[in-house]
Structure 1
Amino acid sequence: MNRNVINPQDLFVGKAFSQTVAVEGAARWIFVSGQIDCDAQGKVRNPGDLAAQVRGTLDNLVIALAAQGATMADLVKVNVYIVDLDPSQTAAIRDIRAEYFDAEQPPAVTLVGIDRLSMDGLLVEIEAVAAR
Structure 2
Amino acid sequence: MSKQIISTVDAPAAIGPYSQAVLVNGTLYMSGQIALDPKTMELVEGIEAQTRQAFENLIAVLSAADMQTSDIVKMNIYLVDLGNFALVNDVMKELFNVPFPARAAIGVASLPKGALVEVEAVAVKVSSDE
State the TM-score, normalized to the length of structure 2.
Answer: 0.72
Q: 1:114 aligned to 2:108?
A: yes
Per-residue deviation, residues 36-66 of structure 1 (Å, max 9, x unmatched) = 11022421122xx111111111011110100
Q: 1 or 2 for the larger relative contact order (CA 8 Å, sep ≥6)?
A: 1
Identical amino acids, percent of aligned pairs: 35
Match of 2:55 in 1: 58
Equivalent residue number for residue 126 of structure 1 = 119
Runs (4+) of structure 1 moved beyond 4 Å?
none
TM-score by length of 1: 0.71
Q: Are 1:32 and 2:26 an aligned pair?
A: no
In 2, Cα distance between equivalents of 1:36 and 1:69: 21
Residue in 2 that maps onto 1:98: 93
Q: Is the 8 Å Cα contact of residues 37 and 53 (structure 2) preserved in structure 1?
A: no
Gaps of 5+ in 1: 1-26
Task: State the Cα RMSD in Å.
Answer: 1.2
SS for the counterpart of 1:69 is: coil
Amino acid paired to 2:121: A
Q: Matched residue of 2:107: which SS?
A: strand
How many residue pairs were aligned?
Answer: 100
- Per-residue deviation, residues 70-100 of structure 1 (Å, max 9, x unmatched): 00111000000011322xx322211111111
**Structure 2 counterparts to residues 3-82 of structure 1, below 5 A:** 28-40=26-38, 41-46=40-45, 49-82=46-79
Alignment check: 8 A CA contact 1:84 1:116 kept: no
Q: Please, which runs of 5 or more residues in structure 2 have no aligned partner?
A: 1-24, 126-130
- The residue that corresponds to 1:84 in the other structure is 81
How far apart, CA to CA, are the structure 2 residues paired with 1:35 and 1:90? 17
CA distance in 2, matches of 1:65, 1:76: 12
